[in-house]
A = this chain, B = another copy of it.
Amino acid sequence: MRHFSDRLADAIIAKRSVVCVGLDPDLEQMPLDFVERYKDGTQQAAAACFEDYCRGLIQAVADVAVAVKPQAAFFEQYGAPGWAALAGVVSCARDHGLLVVLDAKRGDIASTGRAYAAALFGGATLPGGAAAPGLAADAVTVSPYLGDDSLTPFTDRCADGKGVFVLTRTSNPGAAGLQEREVEGRPLYLHVAELVERLGRDHVGAHGYSDVGAVVGATAPEALCAVRAVLPAAFILVPGYGAQGGDAAALRGARAGDAAGFVVNASRSVIYAWRQRGTEYRQAAAAAAADMREQLAGVLGA
């Protein structure tokens, strides 16, 4: 199986884009006339509403984005139908040639960690011995608090062409509470970056990037530079662009290699762009994603 990092680098070069669209479905942000069609009040209807909205978005952004990042939480709210809808969204994105970074922020050890990896990537054993499909994501986000033995169940799957993004310096205000605490003269998040480097060293593709990357918020530009210094060969997933306040200038220090070395995620500013633009939600999302690609074109060089 081809390395996740090579599949991502190829897509970035082919599409001249580092755009990742976050799929965070929210009834209160969708057009009223869209939600009205699902008003029978069941979880099935809610899940179908989310799936249909996301399918529309995927079709709209498939040409300009390299990846989508579905947020597992929103789908899990609606139980088993929600989980099935999430599987449908992942499958639709892959059918449209988009990589899927499942934002699940999991993390656990040993057999539990392997079970999470199987849930998100596929491969759980069924009673007859066959493999369960799982969600078939291309990459996932994981949380490092439990330490390296909570990350290896995921990084072990790089051998199957999968990618892992470890939360390193996140884009929320509270991130500083633990992540910026000083440990041996450096912020904790740089120790996490070192762990990412160590875990990713043996999973490097033909483009020179590792399949094990880091999540670093666009709202912390100095952190982006510092993490890049520790991780010269890792992809960085940069959330917080757009609605959360990050901008393109913040990304200069994060460039690495022949395919930017990062992807930039925007959720609300793309998927609810209809609220600002006043056009149909898919048209608005396509236009917002195209604008974002344009704003970020500079980071890809000539």
Please report which residues of chain A, range 15-40, place their CB below 8 angstroms from some CB of chain B when the two chains form the complex.
Answer: 24, 26-28, 35-36, 38-40
For the complex, give the distance between the alpha carbons of A45 and B68 in Å. Answer: 32
Q: How many identical subunits does the complex contain?
A: 2
Q: Is A111 an interface residue (CB 8 A)?
A: yes
Name the B residues within 8 Å of A40 (CB-CB). 127-128
Q: Is A148 an interface residue (CB 8 A)?
A: yes
Q: Given A24-B112, A79-B83, A115-B76, A148–B174 Cβ distance below 8 Å?
A: yes
Name the B residues within 8 Å of A132 (CB-CB). 43, 46, 77-79
Instruction: Decide: A87 and B79 in contact? CB cutoff 8 A.
Output: yes
A81 to chain B, nearest CB (A): 7
Residue of B nearest to A129 (CB): B41
Instruction: Decide: A128 and B41 in contact? CB cutoff 8 A.
Output: yes
Q: How many residues of A contact B (CB 8 A)?
A: 79
Name the B residues within 8 Å of A73 (CB-CB). 106, 108, 112-113, 115-116, 119
For the complex, give the distance between the alpha carbons of A215 and B225 in Å. Answer: 34
Instruction: Decide: B126 and A41 in contact? CB cutoff 8 A.
Output: yes
**8 A-B pairs, CB-CB below 8 angstroms?**
A41-B130, A42-B126, A76-B83, A80-B84, A143-B145, A146-B172, A147-B174, A150-B172
